[in-house]
Each structure stands twice: as structure tokens, then as C-alpha cells.
Amino acid sequence: MVKEIRIYIEGGGDSKNQKSSLRKGFSKFFLKLVKEATTKNIKWNIIMCGTRNDTFRDFQTALKSHPDAFNILLVDAEAPVNKKSPWEHLKLRDNWNKPAGVDDDNCHLMVQTMEAWFIADIATLKKFYGQGFKESGIPKTTNVETIAKDNLERTLKIASSRTTKGEYHKIKHASKLLELLDVTKVRQSSPYCDRLFNTLISRIGYLPDES
């Protein structure tokens, strides 16, 4: 069992307020794991890093500054992953080399971007955006990771464009949607999200219920 978990996540923009808001959203999304970690005296830190290059840089720094923690890199895949390992994917797409001393458990992807997680839970999208939300425009699939990156944000914007909240906006809406998501639905529709949860569950060392 680890004593500290640190997750370095792409996103949050440049301002402290934006990063704080998105950090809150991710904290709620991981809430069951956070609670379980707390009961076992495992420190839990979510670090919003801004750009993907900044995220990788901060992750690399953490390997030296927090060598005893379980450090995780979590970034958008930005493309199909197929059967490649996460580090292989990032090497091909971003020319990032796997740092020494880490393995695939330290690297996780939002496939193809975070917006796929939202599409995995249409009921939450309908509840959040309310009247005027066009559910018919959302792709129906059992695996949201197959939806092309270029279609994810565009689909959400079109579906929400006539709602009182206005069209989907990452900075304005993503943190609130993360807080509301049904984690089970997302894990069922996103294999890489499920992989992330299973990795964390293993490191925390507990057997969760099916929800």
C-alpha cells in the first residue's frame, strides 16, 4: 500500500480559480477513492497543471520531488489509442519518453479527450443542461473511446447550444459535469477510465462495491 497518491492532470487553464474549480470536479469524480484513501491514512493530491506539456513536466518533477508517492500522469489521448500501451501512445504522438523508474501504472489517458467521459453519461448531460438539450445529437455507443476527438467537443456544443446554460464550454461547464457524473456509467463506457480506477483501487488496497 502506498502512503501518498499524486495525480497530475492536464487542464484547468492558466488561472488559479480555473484550476481550483476543475480540481474540485475531479475530486468529486474520485470521491469514493478519496474517502477510502483517507480511512487508510493515504494522502491524496490532485494537481491541475494546465497544458499537456506542463503536465508532463510537472509529473517528471514529481518523480524527483516526491519519490515515495505513487505519481500518476493523466492527459488526453488526443487520438485513438488502439492496442498501444499508454507510454507508447505518448511517445508516438508527443515524442515523450517514459521516465526511468515508472511503468504503465503511472500513465493514464482520457480517451480520446475528457469530453468522452461526459458523453458516457447522457442522463447527467440532460439533467445539467435541462430544456433544449438535443440528446439525439449525442452518439450512441457502448465505447465512447471510439468517438473521434474532433467530434467530442463539437457534439457537446451542438447538443447544448439551445439550452439556458448555453453551448458546452470546457472552462465553464467541465468541473460541474465532473461533479455530477455517474462513475459506474463512465467506467463501463470508457475502458481507459476503468483502467485508471482499477489501478487506484489496487494501490489503495480495497475491494469496492460495484458502484
Distances (CA, A) of 76 to 51, 156, 211: 10, 17, 25
Contact predicate 128/57, CB 8 Å: no
Q: Does the pLDDT at position 177 exceed 70?
A: yes
Q: Which amino acid is at 38?
A: T
Contact predicate 10/76, CB 8 Å: yes
The predicted-structure confidence for 137-154, as pLDDT tens digits, reads as follows: 899 999 999 999 999 999
Structure letter (DSSP) for residue 189: H
Domain ranges of the chain: 4-113+190-204, 117-173
What pLDDT is stored for residue 210 in this prediction? Answer: 45
* Over residues 118-131, mean pLDDT: 97
* Over residues 152-169, mean pLDDT: 96
Domain range 4-113+190-204, its CATH number among 1.10.10, 3.40.50, 3.30.1450, 3.30.420: 3.40.50
